Amino acid sequence: MSVKYSELRKKLKIDVKKPEQSELAYLTHFLHSAENGVADYYRTGADRYAETIVDLVEEPWYQGYLPIKWDVPFPPPENPTFKFIDLFAGIGGFRMAFQNLGGKCVFTSEWNHYAQKTYEANFGEVPFGDITKIDETEIPDHDILVGGFPCQPFSIAGVSKKNALGRSHGFLDETQGTLFFDIARILKHKRPKAFLLENVKNLVSHDKGKTFKIISETLRELGYNIHYRVLDGKYYAPQHRERIVIVGFDKNVFHGNEDFSFPEMSANPPMVMEDILDKQVEDKYTLTDNLWDYLQKYAKKHKAAGNGFGFGLVNFDGVSRTLSARYYKDGSEILIPQEGKNPRRLTPRECARLQGYPEDFKIPVSDTQAYKQFGNSVVMPLMQDVGKSILEVIKEKQLIHVQSPF
């Protein structure tokens, strides 16, 4: 008889409360793979944690819990057809996309513990933390690597801010700029058949193109044939969100001859802002008189100086500006006009819709953290479409099958 994950969660005290709770990562990763060979990567860490929680008997401590009924919004597929890993996972946009395509996630990493909390609430798995502290030999074999490595070192806003503060950006940003090379070391050791990486549009032009040249040359030196394109999320959700998408295929497998193409965008965006807005919204999302007055004066000042800075009032029959992680500060880039009132911010649920997340996606954190999380996320259905194109190439080579690879 199966045990519900929600019951097991209470019994094993699975609750993300602080950074770097690797013991919970080992435990939940093990539970997701307890009935297949991937479990060997996580068994020791899971056993170590279990010893502190449950009374051990002669048979394995987890024996009475299998099979687990995954009563979470987005459970793993019952009959997966391929394996993938989710790096810089955020709140799981890539995971949801690739699970929808029939993939089994066998490893995930995300350093922010608030994002880990949201991830666990939706997938029943706690991500591992800082990827720089995880040896590539500790990561299971997989078919596809996916990851949206941190974009702040390369974004236009991020570079401007760091320049103003006298700080380094790009690869010289010691905290985030070199994380691409953690992807590179994992690719080198694990040799997945393909990968999908995402970053800001400015990555292509950052440092006069030198940054992207290093990235592309590194990937090619690792033996991958790469394809890249700037794609706009507005064709999947009502948000103008341009991102560079990099896809690579192992030359040892495909010999550089893969028939890959990015999904074609429709002639017109299929959704408008009105489609994702709630009819009734709490007053707390309406801007105060002081904040609205400040934003108008700020916009007027920069307009007079010839700058483009300012708030953005949306058109209900159009698409919004790009949602950013700073949205929690004042919501200025995407404001909703209200008749007889000051404009309002989007609610966290509306932000979720703006990134293509379904209604049953759980938001277990504060509004402030939710704004940061959705601002850092991907447009999920766009990534799913790119993933579908990747899988078509792999399936054409008959490298994955209908049967489970476990």
The secondary structure of the chain, three-state, reads CCEEHHHHHHHCCCCCCCCCCHHHHHHHHHHHHCCCHHHHHCHHHHHHHHCCCCCCCCCCCCHHHCCEECCCCCCCCCCCCEEEEEECCCCCHHHHHHHHCCEEEEEEECCCHHHHHHHHHHHCCCCECCHHHCCHHHCCCCCEEEECCCCCCCCHHHHHHHHHCCCCCHHHCCCCCCCHHHHHHHHHHHCCCEEEEEEEHHHCCHHHHHHHHHHHHHHHHCCEEEEEEEEEHHHCCCECCEEEEEEEEEHHHHCCCCCCCCCCCCCCCCCCHHHHCCCCCCHHHECCHHHHHHHHHHHHHHHHCCCCCCCCECCCCCCECCCCCCHHHHCCCCEECCCCCCCECCCHHHHHHHCCCCCCCCCCCCHHHHHHHHHCCCCHHHHHHHHHHHHHHHHHCCCCCCCCCC
| Residue 105 designated active-site | no
Catalytic residue among 126, 151, 194, 378: 151
Q: Please give the positions annotated as active site.
A: 151
